Structure 1
Amino acid sequence: MQHNSLLIKNAKIVNEGRIFEGDIFVEDGLIKKIDTSISAKSAHVKVVDAEGNYALPGVIDDQVHFREPGLTHKATIETESRAAVAGGITSFIEMPNTVPQTTTIEKLEEKFAIASKSSYANYSFMFGGTNDNLAEIKQVDTKTVAGLKLFLGSSTGNMLVDNPDVLEQIFSSTNMVISVHCEDEQTIKNNLETYKKQYGDDIPLKFHPKIRSEEACYLSSSKAIELAKKTGARLHVFHLSTGKETQLFSNKIPLKDKKITAEVCIHHLWFSDADYDEKGTLIKWNPAVKTKTDRAQLWEALLDDRIDVIATDHAPHTLDEKNNVYTKAPSGGPLVQHALVAMFEAFHNGKITLEKLVEKMCHNPAILFEIEKRGFLKEGYFADIILVDPASPWTVNKDNLAYKCGWSPFEGTTFKSRITHTFVNGHLAYENFKYSDQKNGKRLTFNR
């Protein structure tokens, strides 16, 4: 029997700064009613008893690399969106550094066409800026595209935007959110040269944060912020990795009024340079995982609202690719399946409240990108809902990984919490390590 109605009973609902016990009634993919007690009026209603577990809005991940088109030996939109719903991520925004790059309207629409057939989660894509595609940038439909992505560091080869005049023109000519990867190219090149002279290509991983240094990050992010202030652009700085950078951001303005915002990623909140000896290239990211002090300062800035969003920067590579010497091992790793349960560990350890966690992973990405009817548990909103059991431990191993690349930096980690159900647009996409065959992701739209 096809159910187009769903009733979630007995949930601890986490939404807009409160936790309260209640029921959620869903019809035709939308939340119709939230109340303390709702009874099923018909046999056609699917009833799910949450048994006192938490009900959260679906997580919105504002930065992922799903590798399609062109790099599908690492990942595809289908495989990684499936891993995402297993991790409670019901909407994602994917980056433009695929092959070919998403730097024309035509290539952007080709990606949307792929996702419309293959995505388990809701989706949007960033349009990539380069030194020479300003005319294309001006044609982007801001109601149907998440935003603009600029690489101000060498993470992605020839997508580097390093012409100051072009940068200023881009900042001055779009009202879209401009998301930036900030690392100073020349500083990194100089540092790399120093270590190569000493070690050749096989540089010990512990020097990664010295090569992609605090100075490289701060120099680039402070310049981007200066330019945003000069031009009035709407700037979002991705994946802060240093304590020093957190000083560049304000918590004095409500998020909806902020012109300059910041994100931190799971790996910068979880790992530190003390983990390089054990994890090696598996935790090689750009920007680099830095010191324990940096990690503590990132947490502080997250909790006092200088940092607005938690994301993953999910960027899988094959193990063969990662198992190379320093200069040949690519940066990035898979994270969407384990991001939320990792943050629940921080909740269990008293580092963050669930209300704050939901604010940073669900509400704020929706506010920041002006996503229509998502990111909150509200009547009239799309029914993107996750149920989390906070006391059902499980250990990450190869058998329960959903990533195409088949590995995780969290292998061997035991998480106390488990995502039991993920609903995407009212459809049960995932339940206790079992996946639906149906792909119910929709293209995100924006209130702009």
Structure 2
Amino acid sequence: NKRYGKKEVPFTCEVSPNHLFLQYKDWERLGTFGKMNPPLRKRCMQHLWNGLNDGTIDIVASDHAPHTESEKRTDIWDAPAGVPGVETMLPLMLSAVKQNLIPLWRVIEAMSAKPALIFGLDNKGMIREGYDADLVLVDTRHIQEIRSEQLHSKSGWTPFEGMDGIFPEMVISRGEIIYDGEIACKKGRGEFVHGKGYRS
């Protein structure tokens, strides 16, 4: 729960990497590819980092919108809003840890533990007996530039091109290695996860 005026009310707040790593000046580079909701602003970034660090903002969410280059390459009024971001979200946040923008424990909380709590995913979000073994292994010394040709989204591009990222070396889902330098599972392995509703 959070205070709203004199009352305590159950609501949550999220931020996307779009608004933590992209600024108003990126419009010049991105053009219609940078159209998103809410739009990029001049003086928001540091306030968002502050809110994420102090817990005012609960979670980091991808806001993944994998519009293709052909869909985005039109005038500003017809271009769909949103950018791809699910695959670059963790690499960007780990890079932010290396830059001392946020502590690692807070990234884990905002991207794993807290979302599981909010959506009522009882066996997710922590390393604990009885929980699903959903893990990523990373080498924080291995920083690489984000390149669209190395990503797997149908969009074929990324607004974070050339930025530093720390990508997982291995991904384990429900105890099974699904990525080990390359995708190591078959399509269709994923399952829809039913939450139990909002919890604060």
Mark yes or no: TM-score above 0.5: yes
The count of corresponding residues between Structure 1 and Structure 2 is 194
Counterpart CA distance in 2 for 1:250 and 1:272 is 29
Mapping 1:216-255, distance limit 5 Å: 250=3
Report the CA distance shift for 1:265/1:250 in structure 2 as closer, same or farther (over 3 A): farther
1:393 aligns with 2:148: no
Return the alpha-carbon distance in structure 2 between the equivalents of residues 279 and 318 of structure 1: 14
Q: What residue in structure 1 maps to residue 171 of structure 2?
A: 422
1:355 partner letter: W
Contact between 2:134 and 2:173, CA under 8 Å: does it hold in 1? yes
Asked if structure 1 preserves the Cα contact closer than 8 Å seen for 2:20 and 2:49, the reply is yes
Matched, 1:276 2:27: yes
Amino acid corresponding to residue 41 of structure 2 in structure 1: K
Match of 2:49 among 269, 286, 299: 299
Name 1:329's counterpart in structure 2. Answer: 79
Q: Does the 8 Å contact 1:372/1:444 carry over to 2?
A: no
Q: Contact 1:429–1:438 at 8 Å: present in 2 too?
A: no
Contact kept in structure 1, 2:60 and 2:111, CA below 8 Å = yes
Q: For 1:45-444, list aligned pairs within 5 A.
A: 250=3, 259-291=10-42, 293-415=43-165, 417-437=166-186, 439-444=188-193
Cα deviation per residue 1:129-162 (whole Å; 9 max; x = unaligned)? xxxxxxxxxxxxxxxxxxxxxxxxxxxxxxxxxx
Displacement of 1:438: 5.4
Aligned-pair CA distance for 1:436: 2.0
Kindly provide the amino acid, as one letter, of the partner of residue 395 in structure 1: E
Kept in 1, the 8 Å contact 2:132–2:175? The answer is: yes
Q: CA deviation at 1:333?
A: 1.0
**Percent of aligned positions that are identical:** 31
Q: Which amino acid aligns with 1:279?
A: L
Stretches of structure 2 that go unaligned for 5 or more consecutive residues are none
**Greater strand content:** 1
Structure 1 pair 250–349 and aligned structure 2 pair: CA distance change class (3 A): farther
- TM-score w.r.t. length of structure 2: 0.89
* TM-score in terms of structure 1 length: 0.41
Match of 1:338, SS state, is helix
Kindly name which structure, 1 or 2, has the bigger radius of gyration based on alpha carbons: 1
Q: CA deviation at 1:302?
A: 1.1
